[in-house]
Amino acid sequence: MAREKPRSKTRNAPRSTTDKKVSTSEGVKLRRSTRKNRVGVGATPNQQALEAAKIPVPTEESPDISSALRQLRAERNLSLDKLAYESGVSRAMLSQIELGRSTPTITVLWRIARALGVPFSSLLAGPAPDEPLVFRASRAKVLKSADGSFSTRALFPLDQTHSAEFYELRLAPRGVENADAHSSGTSENLVVTTGTLEVKVGGVTLELKTGDATYFQADVPHEYRNPTAHETVAYLVMTYAHRN
């Protein structure tokens, strides 16, 4: 009778030194996290002070478009019908936005902002923080075009006091975004960080490669186009003229 082969001892093999180090590190993080969660009511002043020093840097919360729109409309004593007439956005759509039942596209927001006579960011407004902010990509409020090919996210605190605004723009392969004219005197300064971007403004088409930048007056209709099969990423600084 053939002798039975000895069982493999792989399962009981000792961990490597590297594995031990990783486990120890993870264990330390876990214990610190658990201890941090325990500190609260009943903690001594010293414990509270130590834990306060470990509080993460605040992050920008998602904007409340519905509340901002209601407030701006009320401040101007505008009815939904009047705002619909001035913006070209239907009364039904405005009502849905104010009720928080519909998320407007970038184009719709621009039209509403122009009709209200306010900068785009006013519809995304929140309280201006006193402390530094971190804009986590995982928690970003991304606005998209109707077909989803163009997206933008604000990289600045969403209050109403800025004379300049900073955005990340992403344009899908072969994507096109037509932008309405912004308020008089508005300018755009844009740099491409990935891919190729064509910017059409005032009858002129500019082709920008990675690293190229442009500056132009944005108070006329303009267009962004990605002529390639790869995503284009750009960063935009929008500056408003003589804002109070």
pLDDT tens digit at each of 244 positions of the chain: 555 555 544 444 444 444 444 433 434 343 444 444 433 444 444 433 333 333 333 334 445 678 888 888 888 888 989 899 888 889 888 988 888 887 777 778 878 888 888 776 667 655 555 677 787 888 777 888 889 999 999 887 765 556 788 999 999 999 999 988 888 888 999 999 999 999 999 889 999 999 999 999 999 999 999 999 999 999 999 998 765 4
Domain ranges of the chain: 163-244
Residues 106 and 184: their CA atoms lie apart, in Å, by: 19
Residues 115 and 165: their CA atoms lie apart, in Å, by: 19
H or E stretch including 7? none
Count of positions (residues) in the chain = 244
Domain 163-244 has CATH 3.40.50.300: no
pTM for the model: 0.52
What tokens were used for 166?
Answer: 């900073």
